[in-house]
Structure 1
Amino acid sequence: MSVSKTSKSSISSYKKFETRFRDPNPDTSVLLVIDMQNHFSAIAGPILPSITTTIDLCRRASIPVIFTRHSHDPAARSRNMLAEWWIDDLIFDGTPEAEIMPEVGRRDGETVVGKDTYSAFRGTRLEERLREMGVEEVIITGVMTNLCCETTAREAFVRGFRVFFSTDATATSSEELHEATLKNMAYGFAYLVDCKRLSKCLSV
Protein backbone atom coordinates (compact mmCIF):
# COMPACT_ATOMS: atom_id res chain seq x y z
CA MET A 1 0.00 0.00 0.00
CA SER A 2 1.73 3.09 -1.25
CA VAL A 3 2.60 5.55 1.50
CA SER A 4 2.84 9.18 0.43
CA LYS A 5 5.03 11.59 2.36
CA THR A 6 2.12 14.00 2.22
CA SER A 7 -0.72 12.83 4.41
CA LYS A 8 -4.10 14.46 4.34
CA SER A 9 -7.42 13.92 6.03
CA SER A 10 -10.51 15.96 5.47
CA ILE A 11 -10.57 19.26 7.32
CA SER A 12 -14.18 19.69 6.29
CA SER A 13 -17.04 18.93 8.60
CA TYR A 14 -18.84 15.66 8.00
CA LYS A 15 -21.83 17.84 7.11
CA LYS A 16 -20.21 18.59 3.75
CA PHE A 17 -20.95 15.02 2.64
CA GLU A 18 -23.70 13.89 4.98
CA THR A 19 -26.85 12.40 3.42
CA ARG A 20 -28.38 10.74 6.51
CA PHE A 21 -28.19 11.60 10.19
CA ARG A 22 -27.89 9.21 13.11
CA ASP A 23 -25.83 8.94 16.29
CA PRO A 24 -24.16 5.69 17.35
CA ASN A 25 -25.64 3.79 20.27
CA PRO A 26 -22.86 3.25 22.82
CA ASP A 27 -24.60 0.16 24.18
CA THR A 28 -24.26 -1.73 20.89
CA SER A 29 -21.20 -0.11 19.27
CA VAL A 30 -17.56 -1.01 18.83
CA LEU A 31 -14.70 1.22 17.68
CA LEU A 32 -12.47 -0.24 14.97
CA VAL A 33 -9.03 1.37 14.75
CA ILE A 34 -7.71 0.27 11.38
CA ASP A 35 -3.98 -0.31 10.77
CA MET A 36 -2.48 2.53 12.83
CA GLN A 37 0.96 1.00 12.35
CA ASN A 38 4.49 2.33 12.07
CA HIS A 39 4.49 1.59 8.34
CA PHE A 40 1.78 4.22 7.88
CA SER A 41 3.23 6.85 10.23
CA ALA A 42 3.54 9.49 7.47
CA ILE A 43 -0.16 9.20 6.72
CA ALA A 44 -1.38 8.43 10.23
CA GLY A 45 0.65 11.03 12.11
CA PRO A 46 -1.54 14.05 11.28
CA ILE A 47 -4.73 12.33 12.46
CA LEU A 48 -3.29 11.09 15.76
CA PRO A 49 -5.06 13.83 17.77
CA SER A 50 -8.41 12.85 16.26
CA ILE A 51 -7.70 9.14 16.66
CA THR A 52 -6.71 9.44 20.31
CA THR A 53 -9.65 11.73 21.02
CA THR A 54 -12.05 9.25 19.41
CA ILE A 55 -10.53 6.35 21.34
CA ASP A 56 -10.80 8.28 24.60
CA LEU A 57 -14.43 9.22 23.93
CA CYS A 58 -15.30 5.60 23.20
CA ARG A 59 -13.49 4.27 26.25
CA ARG A 60 -15.29 6.74 28.50
CA ALA A 61 -18.59 5.65 26.95
CA SER A 62 -17.67 1.97 27.59
CA ILE A 63 -17.47 1.25 23.86
CA PRO A 64 -14.99 -1.59 23.19
CA VAL A 65 -11.95 -0.65 21.11
CA ILE A 66 -10.59 -3.16 18.60
CA PHE A 67 -7.38 -2.57 16.64
CA THR A 68 -6.40 -4.18 13.36
CA ARG A 69 -2.83 -4.88 12.31
CA HIS A 70 -1.99 -5.54 8.67
CA SER A 71 0.97 -7.77 7.77
CA HIS A 72 2.12 -10.52 5.44
CA ASP A 73 3.94 -13.78 5.91
CA PRO A 74 6.99 -13.54 3.60
CA ALA A 75 6.59 -17.20 2.66
CA ALA A 76 3.02 -16.64 1.48
CA ARG A 77 3.46 -13.46 -0.56
CA SER A 78 2.84 -15.17 -3.91
CA ARG A 79 -0.50 -16.57 -2.68
CA ASN A 80 -2.12 -13.24 -1.83
CA MET A 81 -3.58 -10.91 -4.48
CA LEU A 82 -2.97 -7.85 -2.36
CA ALA A 83 0.67 -8.91 -2.05
CA GLU A 84 0.88 -9.02 -5.83
CA TRP A 85 -0.64 -5.54 -6.13
CA TRP A 86 1.72 -3.95 -3.58
CA ILE A 87 4.68 -6.26 -4.15
CA ASP A 88 7.28 -3.54 -3.45
CA ASP A 89 5.49 -2.05 -0.44
CA LEU A 90 4.48 -4.91 1.82
CA ILE A 91 4.39 -4.99 5.61
CA PHE A 92 6.01 -8.15 6.88
CA ASP A 93 5.03 -9.77 10.14
CA GLY A 94 7.64 -9.52 12.86
CA THR A 95 9.11 -6.21 11.66
CA PRO A 96 8.91 -2.84 13.46
CA GLU A 97 6.82 -1.48 10.57
CA ALA A 98 4.09 -3.99 11.39
CA GLU A 99 3.67 -2.82 14.98
CA ILE A 100 0.91 -0.49 16.13
CA MET A 101 2.15 3.05 16.66
CA PRO A 102 2.82 3.56 20.38
CA GLU A 103 1.36 7.07 20.14
CA VAL A 104 -2.08 5.52 19.60
CA GLY A 105 -2.04 4.36 23.21
CA ARG A 106 -3.43 0.85 22.88
CA ARG A 107 -4.07 -0.60 26.32
CA ASP A 108 -3.17 -4.08 27.48
CA GLY A 109 -6.14 -6.35 26.99
CA GLU A 110 -7.58 -4.48 24.02
CA THR A 111 -8.09 -6.79 21.07
CA VAL A 112 -5.78 -6.73 18.05
CA VAL A 113 -7.08 -8.43 14.91
CA GLY A 114 -4.41 -9.52 12.43
CA LYS A 115 -5.24 -9.36 8.74
CA ASP A 116 -3.50 -9.65 5.38
CA THR A 117 -6.00 -7.97 3.06
CA TYR A 118 -8.05 -4.79 2.95
CA SER A 119 -11.01 -6.14 4.90
CA ALA A 120 -10.84 -6.66 8.65
CA PHE A 121 -13.55 -9.31 8.25
CA ARG A 122 -11.85 -11.70 5.82
CA GLY A 123 -10.36 -14.73 7.53
CA THR A 124 -10.25 -13.06 10.95
CA ARG A 125 -13.44 -14.22 12.73
CA LEU A 126 -14.13 -10.55 13.47
CA GLU A 127 -17.80 -10.91 12.59
CA GLU A 128 -18.23 -13.85 14.96
CA ARG A 129 -16.46 -11.94 17.72
CA LEU A 130 -18.70 -8.91 17.26
CA ARG A 131 -21.84 -11.06 17.26
CA GLU A 132 -20.73 -12.70 20.49
CA MET A 133 -20.24 -9.23 22.00
CA GLY A 134 -23.74 -8.16 20.97
CA VAL A 135 -22.38 -5.49 18.63
CA GLU A 136 -24.75 -3.98 16.09
CA GLU A 137 -22.80 -0.87 15.08
CA VAL A 138 -19.17 -0.20 14.11
CA ILE A 139 -17.31 3.11 14.16
CA ILE A 140 -14.50 3.16 11.59
CA THR A 141 -11.24 5.07 12.10
CA GLY A 142 -7.65 4.65 10.90
CA VAL A 143 -5.82 4.27 7.59
CA MET A 144 -6.05 4.13 4.68
CA THR A 145 -9.42 5.81 4.12
CA ASN A 146 -9.98 4.44 0.63
CA LEU A 147 -8.48 0.98 1.10
CA CYS A 148 -8.74 -0.88 4.42
CA CYS A 149 -11.14 1.56 6.10
CA GLU A 150 -13.52 1.70 3.15
CA THR A 151 -13.42 -2.04 2.46
CA THR A 152 -14.01 -2.87 6.12
CA ALA A 153 -16.92 -0.41 6.25
CA ARG A 154 -18.52 -1.88 3.13
CA GLU A 155 -18.14 -5.41 4.47
CA ALA A 156 -19.61 -4.41 7.82
CA PHE A 157 -22.62 -2.91 6.04
CA VAL A 158 -23.33 -5.97 3.88
CA ARG A 159 -22.95 -8.19 6.95
CA GLY A 160 -25.73 -6.27 8.69
CA PHE A 161 -23.82 -3.88 10.93
CA ARG A 162 -24.74 -0.20 11.08
CA VAL A 163 -21.63 1.76 10.08
CA PHE A 164 -20.33 5.11 11.32
CA PHE A 165 -17.33 6.45 9.40
CA SER A 166 -15.06 9.14 10.84
CA THR A 167 -14.18 12.05 8.56
CA ASP A 168 -11.36 13.40 10.72
CA ALA A 169 -9.94 10.20 12.24
CA THR A 170 -9.28 8.53 8.88
CA ALA A 171 -6.58 9.45 6.37
CA THR A 172 -5.01 8.41 3.10
CA SER A 173 -2.44 9.59 0.56
CA SER A 174 -4.47 12.41 -0.99
CA GLU A 175 -7.42 14.64 -0.20
CA GLU A 176 -9.07 13.61 -3.46
CA LEU A 177 -9.08 9.92 -2.51
CA HIS A 178 -10.17 10.71 1.04
CA GLU A 179 -13.13 12.77 -0.05
CA ALA A 180 -14.14 10.25 -2.73
CA THR A 181 -14.51 7.63 0.00
CA LEU A 182 -16.51 9.96 2.21
CA LYS A 183 -18.92 10.58 -0.67
CA ASN A 184 -19.27 6.85 -1.32
CA MET A 185 -19.74 6.06 2.35
CA ALA A 186 -22.42 8.72 2.81
CA TYR A 187 -24.20 7.67 -0.37
CA GLY A 188 -24.58 3.99 0.35
CA PHE A 189 -22.84 2.60 3.39
CA ALA A 190 -22.27 4.76 6.46
CA TYR A 191 -23.31 7.63 8.67
CA LEU A 192 -20.51 10.19 8.86
CA VAL A 193 -19.16 11.43 12.18
CA ASP A 194 -16.24 13.45 13.49
CA CYS A 195 -14.75 14.09 16.92
CA LYS A 196 -17.12 16.95 17.72
CA ARG A 197 -20.17 14.91 16.78
CA LEU A 198 -18.99 11.94 18.84
CA SER A 199 -18.17 14.18 21.77
CA LYS A 200 -21.76 15.42 21.82
CA CYS A 201 -23.50 12.08 21.38
CA LEU A 202 -21.18 10.05 23.64
CA SER A 203 -20.86 12.54 26.47
CA VAL A 204 -21.51 10.87 29.82
Structure 2
Amino acid sequence: MAAFTAASYSKYEIRRRDPNPKAAALLVIDMQNYFASTAAPILPALRTTVALCRAAGVPVLFTRHRHRSPADYGMLGERWAGNLIFDGTPESELLPDLGRHPGDRVVEKSTYSAFAGTDLEEILRGMGVEEVIVTGVMTNLCCETTAREAFVRGFRVFFSTDATATSNRDLHEATLKNMAYGFAYLVDCNRLEAAVGRKA
Protein backbone atom coordinates (compact mmCIF):
# COMPACT_ATOMS: atom_id res chain seq x y z
CA MET A 1 0.00 0.00 0.00
CA ALA A 2 1.41 3.35 -0.97
CA ALA A 3 2.20 5.98 1.61
CA PHE A 4 -0.29 8.84 1.85
CA THR A 5 0.69 12.48 1.57
CA ALA A 6 -1.00 15.55 2.98
CA ALA A 7 -2.45 16.32 -0.45
CA SER A 8 -4.05 12.89 -0.69
CA TYR A 9 -6.12 13.18 2.47
CA SER A 10 -6.72 16.92 2.82
CA LYS A 11 -9.89 16.50 0.76
CA TYR A 12 -11.43 14.60 3.69
CA GLU A 13 -10.63 17.19 6.32
CA ILE A 14 -13.50 19.04 7.91
CA ARG A 15 -11.48 20.48 10.78
CA ARG A 16 -7.76 20.90 11.25
CA ARG A 17 -5.80 21.04 14.47
CA ASP A 18 -2.26 20.23 15.59
CA PRO A 19 -1.49 17.94 18.52
CA ASN A 20 -0.11 19.43 21.71
CA PRO A 21 3.02 17.48 22.67
CA LYS A 22 2.56 18.44 26.32
CA ALA A 23 -0.84 16.71 26.41
CA ALA A 24 -0.43 13.88 23.88
CA ALA A 25 0.58 10.23 23.81
CA LEU A 26 1.44 8.15 20.77
CA LEU A 27 -0.36 4.81 20.42
CA VAL A 28 1.37 2.25 18.19
CA ILE A 29 -1.27 -0.37 17.50
CA ASP A 30 -0.44 -4.05 16.92
CA MET A 31 2.77 -3.72 14.91
CA GLN A 32 3.37 -7.46 15.21
CA ASN A 33 4.93 -10.20 13.10
CA TYR A 34 1.46 -11.46 12.18
CA PHE A 35 0.86 -8.18 10.32
CA ALA A 36 4.38 -7.88 8.87
CA SER A 37 3.35 -7.73 5.22
CA THR A 38 0.60 -5.18 5.88
CA ALA A 39 2.87 -3.09 8.10
CA ALA A 40 5.95 -3.13 5.84
CA PRO A 41 4.98 -0.13 3.64
CA ILE A 42 4.41 2.15 6.64
CA LEU A 43 7.50 1.23 8.66
CA PRO A 44 9.50 4.30 7.57
CA ALA A 45 6.64 6.66 8.45
CA LEU A 46 5.97 4.80 11.70
CA ARG A 47 9.61 5.04 12.76
CA THR A 48 9.65 8.73 11.87
CA THR A 49 6.48 9.32 13.88
CA VAL A 50 7.93 7.52 16.92
CA ALA A 51 11.17 9.51 16.66
CA LEU A 52 9.33 12.83 16.30
CA CYS A 53 7.18 12.11 19.33
CA ARG A 54 10.11 11.05 21.46
CA ALA A 55 12.06 14.18 20.53
CA ALA A 56 9.07 16.27 21.63
CA GLY A 57 8.67 14.40 24.93
CA VAL A 58 5.49 12.62 23.84
CA PRO A 59 5.17 9.22 25.59
CA VAL A 60 4.98 6.20 23.27
CA LEU A 61 2.78 3.20 24.09
CA PHE A 62 2.55 -0.02 22.10
CA THR A 63 -0.29 -2.52 21.96
CA ARG A 64 0.00 -6.23 21.29
CA HIS A 65 -2.98 -8.30 20.22
CA ARG A 66 -2.99 -11.89 21.51
CA HIS A 67 -5.30 -14.66 22.64
CA ARG A 68 -4.57 -17.02 25.51
CA SER A 69 -7.67 -19.24 25.61
CA PRO A 70 -11.19 -19.51 24.16
CA ALA A 71 -12.34 -17.43 27.13
CA ASP A 72 -10.85 -14.31 25.50
CA TYR A 73 -11.78 -14.99 21.86
CA GLY A 74 -15.07 -13.10 22.06
CA MET A 75 -16.68 -12.44 18.69
CA LEU A 76 -13.26 -12.52 17.04
CA GLY A 77 -13.35 -16.29 17.46
CA GLU A 78 -16.37 -16.39 15.17
CA ARG A 79 -15.31 -13.66 12.78
CA TRP A 80 -11.69 -14.75 12.37
CA ALA A 81 -11.85 -18.49 13.10
CA GLY A 82 -8.52 -20.02 12.16
CA ASN A 83 -6.79 -16.63 12.01
CA LEU A 84 -6.37 -15.66 15.66
CA ILE A 85 -3.04 -14.51 17.08
CA PHE A 86 -1.99 -16.74 19.96
CA ASP A 87 0.20 -15.62 22.82
CA GLY A 88 3.63 -17.23 22.87
CA THR A 89 3.89 -17.62 19.10
CA PRO A 90 6.36 -15.69 16.91
CA GLU A 91 3.41 -14.07 15.15
CA SER A 92 2.30 -12.45 18.41
CA GLU A 93 5.60 -10.64 19.00
CA LEU A 94 6.12 -7.00 18.12
CA LEU A 95 8.16 -6.29 15.02
CA PRO A 96 11.79 -5.32 15.58
CA ASP A 97 13.11 -1.87 14.76
CA LEU A 98 10.00 0.08 15.70
CA GLY A 99 12.01 2.49 17.83
CA ARG A 100 10.92 0.86 21.08
CA HIS A 101 12.71 1.75 24.31
CA PRO A 102 13.02 -0.60 27.30
CA GLY A 103 10.67 1.50 29.42
CA ASP A 104 7.88 1.73 26.86
CA ARG A 105 4.57 0.30 27.98
CA VAL A 106 3.07 -2.57 26.01
CA VAL A 107 -0.69 -2.92 26.50
CA GLU A 108 -1.94 -6.43 25.76
CA LYS A 109 -5.40 -6.75 24.27
CA SER A 110 -7.72 -9.39 22.85
CA THR A 111 -10.16 -7.38 20.74
CA TYR A 112 -10.12 -4.49 18.30
CA SER A 113 -10.19 -1.75 20.92
CA ALA A 114 -7.04 -1.07 22.92
CA PHE A 115 -9.29 0.19 25.73
CA ALA A 116 -11.61 -2.81 26.13
CA GLY A 117 -10.50 -5.08 28.96
CA THR A 118 -7.22 -3.22 29.47
CA ASP A 119 -5.89 -0.50 31.75
CA LEU A 120 -5.00 1.83 28.88
CA GLU A 121 -7.35 4.60 29.98
CA GLU A 122 -6.01 4.50 33.54
CA ILE A 123 -2.44 4.62 32.24
CA LEU A 124 -3.17 7.62 30.03
CA ARG A 125 -5.11 9.49 32.72
CA GLY A 126 -2.31 8.82 35.19
CA MET A 127 0.15 10.41 32.77
CA GLY A 128 -2.03 13.47 32.33
CA VAL A 129 -2.71 12.63 28.69
CA GLU A 130 -5.58 14.44 26.98
CA GLU A 131 -4.79 13.58 23.35
CA VAL A 132 -3.80 10.42 21.51
CA ILE A 133 -2.09 10.02 18.17
CA VAL A 134 -3.12 6.71 16.59
CA THR A 135 -0.74 4.73 14.36
CA GLY A 136 -0.30 1.06 13.41
CA VAL A 137 -2.47 -1.69 11.94
CA MET A 138 -5.08 -2.31 10.83
CA THR A 139 -6.44 1.10 9.86
CA ASN A 140 -10.09 0.05 9.67
CA LEU A 141 -10.14 -2.45 12.55
CA CYS A 142 -7.99 -1.96 15.64
CA CYS A 143 -6.81 1.56 14.80
CA GLU A 144 -10.28 2.85 13.96
CA THR A 145 -11.97 1.12 16.89
CA THR A 146 -9.35 2.41 19.32
CA ALA A 147 -9.67 5.93 17.91
CA ARG A 148 -13.46 5.90 18.17
CA GLU A 149 -13.35 4.65 21.74
CA ALA A 150 -10.71 7.20 22.69
CA PHE A 151 -13.01 9.93 21.38
CA VAL A 152 -15.98 8.57 23.31
CA ARG A 153 -13.86 8.45 26.48
CA GLY A 154 -13.01 12.14 26.13
CA PHE A 155 -9.58 12.08 24.50
CA ARG A 156 -8.82 14.35 21.56
CA VAL A 157 -7.81 12.04 18.72
CA PHE A 158 -5.25 12.49 15.96
CA PHE A 159 -5.16 9.78 13.32
CA SER A 160 -2.09 9.17 11.19
CA THR A 161 -2.67 8.77 7.47
CA ASP A 162 0.82 7.57 6.57
CA ALA A 163 1.67 5.50 9.67
CA THR A 164 -1.47 3.34 9.55
CA ALA A 165 -2.15 0.52 7.09
CA THR A 166 -4.70 -2.12 6.20
CA SER A 167 -5.39 -4.69 3.50
CA ASN A 168 -6.41 -2.28 0.74
CA ARG A 169 -6.63 1.39 -0.14
CA ASP A 170 -10.45 1.55 -0.18
CA LEU A 171 -10.69 0.40 3.43
CA HIS A 172 -7.91 2.78 4.46
CA GLU A 173 -9.58 5.76 2.82
CA ALA A 174 -13.00 4.84 4.21
CA THR A 175 -11.56 5.05 7.72
CA LEU A 176 -9.90 8.38 6.99
CA LYS A 177 -13.26 9.75 5.85
CA ASN A 178 -14.98 8.48 9.00
CA MET A 179 -12.24 9.75 11.28
CA ALA A 180 -12.20 13.21 9.71
CA TYR A 181 -15.97 13.45 9.72
CA GLY A 182 -16.63 12.73 13.36
CA PHE A 183 -13.76 11.45 15.47
CA ALA A 184 -10.25 12.67 14.74
CA TYR A 185 -7.93 15.20 13.21
CA LEU A 186 -5.80 13.77 10.40
CA VAL A 187 -2.02 14.05 10.53
CA ASP A 188 0.99 12.72 8.66
CA CYS A 189 4.72 12.86 9.34
CA ASN A 190 5.13 16.28 7.76
CA ARG A 191 2.30 17.87 9.72
CA LEU A 192 3.37 16.13 12.91
CA GLU A 193 6.93 17.35 12.51
CA ALA A 194 5.74 20.93 12.06
CA ALA A 195 3.40 20.67 15.05
CA VAL A 196 5.60 19.01 17.64
CA GLY A 197 8.75 20.79 16.47
CA ARG A 198 7.09 24.15 16.92
CA LYS A 199 5.57 23.38 20.32
CA ALA A 200 8.25 21.20 21.89
| Shorter-chain TM-score range | over 0.9
Q: How far apart, in 2, do the equivalents of 1:62 and 1:81 lie?
A: 37
Task: Determine the structure 1 residue equivalent to 2:16.
Answer: 21
Q: How far apart, in 2, do the equivalents of 1:147 and 1:40 lie?
A: 13
2:68 equivalent to 1:46 = no
1:83 CA displacement = 1.9
- CA-atom RMSD in angstroms: 1.3
8 Å contact 1:32–1:138 — kept in the other structure? yes
SS in 1 for 2:64: strand
8 Å contact 1:10–1:175 — kept in the other structure? no
Aligned residues: 197
8 Å contact 1:13–1:167 — kept in the other structure? no
1:73 CA displacement = 1.1
- Indicate how the Cα distance of structure 1 residues 84 and 33 shifts in structure 2: closer, same or farther if over 3 A, else same: same
Identity %: 66
8 Å contact 1:36–1:143 — kept in the other structure? yes
Q: How far apart, in 2, do the equivalents of 1:14 and 1:38 lie?
A: 28
1:170 CA displacement = 0.3
The amino acid across from 1:188 in the alignment is G
SS in 1 for 2:149: helix
Task: Determine the structure 2 residue equivalent to 1:118.
Answer: 112
The amino acid across from 2:16 in the alignment is F
8 Å contact 2:17–2:185 — kept in the other structure? yes
Structure 2 unmatched runs, 5+: none
8 Å contact 2:51–2:99 — kept in the other structure? no
Task: Determine the structure 1 residue equivalent to 2:81.
Answer: 87
8 Å contact 1:8–1:174 — kept in the other structure? no
Deviations 1:88-146 (A, max 9, x none): 11100001100000021211010000000000000101111111111000000000000
Structure 1 unmatched runs, 5+: 1-6
Please give the residue correspondences for 1:55-204 in structure 2 after superposition, counting only pairs within 5 Å.
55-76=50-71, 79-203=73-197, 204=200
Q: How far apart, in 1, do the equivalents of 2:13 and 2:77 lie?
A: 34
TM-score, structure 2 as length reference: 0.95
8 Å contact 1:34–1:69 — kept in the other structure? yes
1:8 CA displacement = 5.1
8 Å contact 2:132–2:155 — kept in the other structure? yes
Deviations 1:140-167 (A, max 9, x none): 0000000000000000000000000000
8 Å contact 1:33–1:68 — kept in the other structure? yes
8 Å contact 1:8–1:43 — kept in the other structure? no
Q: How far apart, in 1, do the equivalents of 2:70 and 2:187 lie?
A: 40
Stretches (4+) displaced over 6 A:
none
The amino acid across from 1:106 in the alignment is R
